[in-house]
A and B are shown apart, each in its own frame.
Chain A
Amino acid sequence: MEILTAKNLSFTYAKSNTPALDDVSFSVYPGQFVTLCGPTGSGKSTLLRLIKKELTPKGVMTGELIYRGKPLTELTDRQSAEQIGCVVQHPEEQIVSDRVSGELFFGAESLGYPRQKAYRRVAEAASFFNLTDRFSDKTAELSGGQKQLLALASVLVTSPGLILLDEPTSRLDPVAAADFISMLARINRQLGITVIIAEHNTSLLLEYTDVLIFMEGGKLTACGTPEQVLSIRPSERVLSDMPAPVRLFFDNKMTGRCPITVKEGRLLFSDIKEPREDKKEPDGESALELKNVFFRYRRDSKDILKGVDLSVKKGEIRFIFGGNGCGKTTLLQLCAGLLRSYSGKTEIFGKKIQSYKNGELYTGCVSMLCQDAHAVFTHETIGDEFKGFNMKELPYDITPLFDRHPYDVSGGELQMAALCRVLLSKPKLLLLDEPTKAMDASVKKVFKDVLFKLKEQGVAVVVASHDTELAAQCADTCSMMFDGQIICTSGTAEFMRGNSFYTTDKCRMTEGRLI
């Protein structure tokens, strides 16, 4: 019997005229791994929120949602909480206890489980997720990936039959994201728990997926096994978010079975050849020059930057890669003059950073965009932030967003608005910290165009990122950072070919012929 069935499901938000979900029908059987795929605003989150009634927004719903043979509305609050688990995209905010143990016990406490049952469940979950040695730690001490795993573990304590996940890896770095997805696959395969996951980047998911659902504009455009769904070319918008092997397959108009993993692609693409065109490394004037820079927060803490050497030229787009905690963010903050090194030289356009006085640095010289674009906006509408500035010279038109509240727009839109705000001071050196985290493929394309425009104007751009694919498309040079040092720097193509982890899937599949 189906665990969940949607029949002609439509939903319109309270303050909207167009339906967010339009006549959606599908069935999920117990133990299936269902991937909902589609660009931002396609209705995947709305669908998940309708299934979890605690999260259902205000609006009008028509059609039916049937859970284990009964309408979902007949489920009591308790049953819904116990049987349907939910993990959302914010690793920080969905954790409510200050200790790992408290978080794990939360569900059991809320449902008033007897002591023994609660302990048994928590013990099982903690062991399965390898959290036993972190059991009494503070949640604030966990990394983003660990937090998200904790959120998943704490949902499993009530042993739900169905887990819903709304873009759970969109805020994680690739290593943590891969960890999370493989754990999710383990839960699905070993415990038989049904999983419905919405995600726009599916490269990690397809190999575990039993049912792949494409959504666009609130409509369900395809539903079936990945093989069935990918037997015909999906729409351009959906395809742009598909993993590299799928895109390469359709871009080269190949026929047969579509590969979904690097492994499968490697065989298939063994004879694709394309002329190498290595970009010239830029050789303009120096924009940013760091020599043997050391930094730590306090005298008695340990060094975060341990002798960084970095040189970026005007008109250069530089990507910096490296695992979490390697010092990327600290390095950017230091270049933006927000931190001071205790040893070494930092020069911006040939002038020592210390000699920029009274905000001189931030007018027409340096600008930085941090990881959370919300930090840019302190007013109640996006437009308020741009008051008194000339908008004509911006590389991207954001006036349509002017009346919106910064928390009412999608992550990608907000990121673009923040980028524009940061560009208002006409910086010649732009520092970006993980700018593409919340972007889907279509926004990334716009973002890339903006970077190219800036490059033409001679702006130097330094991006700390995990997005190798984006780097392959627009970076001139890439650097790898490890343990507080820049380990290597080279032209993008050479960089991608030389790496086996920090490289693109395309590069892996074609053994460096394509990047």
Chain B
Amino acid sequence: MIWLQKCNPFTVLLYFVSVTALAAVYNNPYHTAVTLAAAIVFFILMRGKGKAALWFFTVFILTFIVNPIISKKGVTPLLFIGDDPITLEAVIYGLNSASLIAAVMFLFYCFTELTDSEKLLYMLSPFSASAALTVSAVLRFVPLYAKQAELISNQQKAIGNQGGKSIPERLKFGGRVFSALSTWALENGIVAADSMACRGYGTGRRSFYSAYGFKKSDGVFLVCQLIFIAGAVIPSIFTRCSYQYYPSLDFPDVNALFIISALSYALLVFLPLISEITDRIKWKYLLQKI
């Protein structure tokens, strides 16, 4: 998903938020199916880790199974466990929620992969420069602390302070390393703070510069998103678009307004994919022309 990676992080955030929010609001198997399909395609395109996919699938199965067992709503019993009925409605509802949760997990996995620390800082800084600065410092500290913790633990082992391998002894050793690490961290934090003060931190209003401008393509992406969001939302004011599970299953009327809303949502969901494909074609063409 090279195309999404190059987009302005805010437009990307809007995409993920609006897609998941609308899918959750409509709670309609159609919307869920569209979202899940797109999420899986993105996941594959981004070369997501198999381990993550397995975990999402586990969550899917669990949610799918648990809901019909717990839920006593619905009117069409399929089978009975003891006196409790398992209803068709609850099964369908479970399938839908499980798919929705899986879709959200896949989407947020992609979002996390797309949002590196720099983009996170870019999004945070307009709201809170101090939070952004804290995040930046933490990202700097994490590898530094990991290195120091290893150094301390090795040094302590080398002077025979490790003790045995039993759990209490290990915890004690861990505590010892953690304590030494925090002393070191606090002490060296002062060096970092002084270095910040030396370079003018706190003398006035902080500005923030970023490599993420707002390009023309970002504008197009944003406008398209807004049109499709409007297209999905406005019809739903006049006609019911959400699905009814209880007491009995009821798909909303398939009228012109519903079709507009449903199509708009599908276009919104697949917008990055469409852009990715056109972008790839454009590049192929660009390179051929030379």
CB neighbours (8 Å) of A88 from chain B are 191, 194-195
| Residue-wise interface mask of A (75-98) relative to B, using a CB-CB cutoff of 8 A (1 in contact, 0 not) | 011100110011010101111111
In the docked arrangement, what's the CA distance between A119 and B198, Å?
Answer: 20
Interface centre among A55, A98, A407, A425 (most CB of B within 10 A): A98
Tell whether, in the assembled complex, residue A119 and residue B209 are in contact, meaning their CB atoms are under 8 Å apart: yes
Contact with A along B190-222 (1 / 0, CB 8 A): 011011111111111111110100000000000
Residue of B with least CB distance to A407: B187
The interface-forming segment of B86-94, B137-145, B269-277 is B137-145
Q: Which of A254-302 contact B (CB under 8 A)?
A: none
B198 pairs with A86, CB closer than 8 A: yes
- Whether the Cβ atoms of B158 and A102 lie closer than 8 Å is no
* B197: A residues at CB distance < 8 A: 54-55, 81
Interface residues on A, range: 35 or more
C-alpha gap A136/B194 in the complex (Å): 24
Contacts A101-B211, A109-B209, A158-B199 given; indicate if A96 touches B155 (C-beta within 8 A): no
What residues of A have a CB within 8 angstroms of the CB of B202 in the complex?
77, 110
A378–B206 touching, CB < 8 Å: no
Asked if B148 is at the interface (CB within 8 A of a chain A CB), the reply is yes
Q: Is the CB of B184 within 8 A of A374?
A: yes
CA distance A372 to B199 in the complex (A): 27
Nearest Cβ on chain A to B195's Cβ, whole angstroms: 4
Chain B residues lying within 8 Å of A109, measured Cβ to Cβ, are 206-209
Q: Is the CB of A54 within 8 A of B194?
A: yes
Tell me the chain B residues, 149-170 only, with Cβ under 8 Å from chain A: 151-152, 154-164
**Minimum C-beta distance from A263 to chain B (A):** 36
Contacts of B177 in A (CB 8 A): 378
Residues of A within 8 A of B162 (CB): 359
Q: Which residue of A lies closest to B191 (CB)?
A: A93
CB distance from A413 to the nearest CB of B (A): 16
Check A400 for interface membership: any CB of B closer than 8 A.
no
A367 touches B136 (CB 8 A): no
Q: Does A463 contact B (CB under 8 A)?
A: no
A-B contact count (CB 8 A): 172
Closest CB in chain B relative to A386 CB, distance in Å: 12
B123 vs chain A, min Cβ distance (A): 15
> For B176, B204, B211, which residue has the most chain A Cβ atoms within 10 angstroms?
B204
Interface residue? B112 (CB, 8 A): no
Q: Please determine whether B159 and A421 come into contact, CB atoms closer than 8 angstroms.
A: yes
Interface string of A107-123 (1 = CB under 8 A from B): 11111111100110000
Q: In the complex, which residue of chain B has the Cβ closest to the Cβ of A151?
A: B195
Q: Check if B180 is an interface residue, CB within 8 A of chain A.
A: yes
CB contacts (< 8 Å) of B180 on chain A: these are 374-375, 377-378
Contact (Cβ within 8 A) A81 B140: no
Partner of B159, one of A54, A94, A115, A367: A367
- What A residues does B143 contact at CB under 8 A? 138, 140
Contact of B192 among A93, A363, A407 (CB under 8 A): A93
**B-chain residues with CB within 8 Å of residue A108 when the two chains form the complex:** 207, 209
A333 and B207 CA atoms in complex are apart in Å by 45
Contacts A96-B140, A111-B203, A112-B207; is A425 near B159 (CB within 8 Å)?
A: yes
Contact of B196 among A96, A369, A370, A431 (CB under 8 A): A96
Give the distance to chain A from B233, nearest Cβ to Cβ, in Å.
36
In the complex formed, the residue of B with least CB distance to A368 is: B158
Q: Which of B158, B184, B200 has a CB less than 8 Å from the CB of A367?
A: B158
Q: Is the interface of A mostly helix, strand, loop or mixed?
A: mixed
Known: A93-B188, A101-B211. A78 touches B204 (CB 8 A): yes
Give every chain B residue within 8 A of A54 (Cβ-Cβ).
194, 197-198
Taking CB atoms, residues of chain A closer than 8 Å to B140 are 95-98, 139-140
A106 at the A/B interface (Cβ < 8 Å)?
Answer: yes
- Bound together, the chains give a CA A55 to CA B196 distance in angstroms of 11
Q: In the assembly, what is the distance between CA of A154 and CA of B159, in Å? A: 39
Contact of B200 among A107, A138, A338 (CB under 8 A): A107
Question: A106 to B200, alpha carbons, bound, how many Å?
Answer: 9
Taken together as a complex, chains A and B put the C-alpha atoms of A365 and B196 apart, in Å, by 45
| B204 close to A111 (CB less than 8 A) | yes
Q: Which residue of B lies closest to A86 (CB)?
A: B198
With contacts A54-B197, A107-B200 taken as known, whether A90 is within 8 angstroms of B188 at the C-beta atoms is: yes
CB-CB nearest in chain B for A424: B159
The answer for the CA separation of A337 and B154 in the assembled complex, in Å, is 10
From B137, which residue of chain A is reached at the shortest CB distance?
Answer: A96
Which residues in A have their C-beta under 8 angstroms from that of B117? 98-99
Q: Are B201 and A110 in contact (CB under 8 A)?
A: yes
Q: Contacts of B159 on A, CB cut-off 8 Å?
A: 362, 367-368, 376, 421-422, 424-425
Contacting pair A98 B200 (CB below 8 A) = no
Complex contacts, A246 vs chain B, CB 8 Å: none
Q: Are B209 and A81 touching (Cβ within 8 A)?
A: no
Residue of B157, B205, B206, B209 near A115 (CB, 8 A) is: B209
A78-B203, A372-B148 as given contacts; A97 in contact with B136, CB under 8 Å: yes
Q: How far is the CB of B40 from chain A (nearest CB, A)?
A: 28
For residue A340, CB closer than 8 A to chain B, the reply is: no
Q: B187 to chain A: which residues have CB within 8 Å? A: 407
Residue among A76, A90, A140 facing the most chain B CB atoms (10 A cut-off): A140
B144 adjacent to A140 (CB under 8 Å) = yes
Q: Is the CB of A370 within 8 A of B158?
A: yes
Q: Find chain A residues with CB under 8 A from B176 CB.
A: 378
B199 & A107 in contact (Cβ 8 Å cutoff): yes
A106-B194 in contact (CB<8A): no
How near does chain B come to A58, taking the closest CB pair, in angstroms? 14
Across-interface contacts of B188 in A (CB, < 8 A)? 90, 92-93
B-chain residues with CB within 8 Å of residue A336 when the two chains form the complex: 154, 158
Tell me the smallest distance from the CB of B36 to a CB of chain A, in Å: 34
A495 interface residue per 8 A CB criterion = no
A513 adjacent to chain B (CB < 8 Å): no
Question: A81 near B203 (CB under 8 angstroms)?
Answer: yes
A93-B188, A95-B140 known; A338-B211 Cβ under 8 A: no
Interface string of A207-219 (1 = CB under 8 A from B): 0000000000000
Whether A370 and B209, one on each chain, are in contact in the complex, defined by CB atoms closer than 8 angstroms, is: no
| A-B CB proximity, top 3 nearest | A81-B200, A362-B160, A98-B139
Q: Can you pick out 14 interface pairs between chain A and chain B where the beta carbons lie within 8 Å of each other?
A: A55-B198, A81-B200, A81-B203, A97-B137, A105-B209, A108-B209, A110-B196, A110-B202, A115-B209, A140-B144, A359-B163, A375-B151, A376-B159, A421-B159
Additional A-B contact list (4), CB under 8 Å, known A88-B194, A94-B191, A106-B196: A119-B209, A358-B164, A375-B152, A406-B183
